[in-house]
Copies of this chain bind each other. A is one copy, B any other.
Amino acid sequence: MENFSLIGMISIITAGLTIAIGSIGPAIGEGRAVAQALTAIAQQPDEAGTITRTLFVGLAMVESTAIYCFVVSMILIFANPFWDYTVSQAGG
């Protein structure tokens, strides 16, 4: 019965740390991009449209790295092939 317990513990730790560590970079990167966008709008109000559009495309790309982490985290909690196999073994 030990195998699935160990796999479970490891999955919990990894799921949590993946999204915790993985949110540091995107949060700081996005904060920086947003901050600069506001400066840019203040400096060139007539280009607010172009700036906002470029900002959102950029934020989407930065957010994508956070989403990779979230996806891996969710896979480890709800669709973990190693856990499925070990549980099926324990039940077999």
Binding site for B on A (CB under 8 A): 1-48, 50-52, 54-59, 61-66, 68-70, 72-73, 75-78, 80-83, 85-87, 89
16 extra interchain contacts, Cβ-Cβ under 8 A, other than A23-B25, A28-B29, A41-B51?
A: A12-B80, A12-B82, A14-B16, A16-B72, A17-B18, A20-B72, A25-B26, A26-B65, A27-B30, A29-B29, A29-B31, A31-B33, A34-B61, A43-B44, A54-B55, A58-B59
Q: A6-B5, A7-B8, A34-B55 are in contact. Are A69 and B28 (CB under 8 A)?
A: no
Shortest A65–chain B CB gap in Å is 4
Specify which chain B residues have a CB less than 8 angstroms from the CB of A59 in the assembled complex.
34, 58, 61
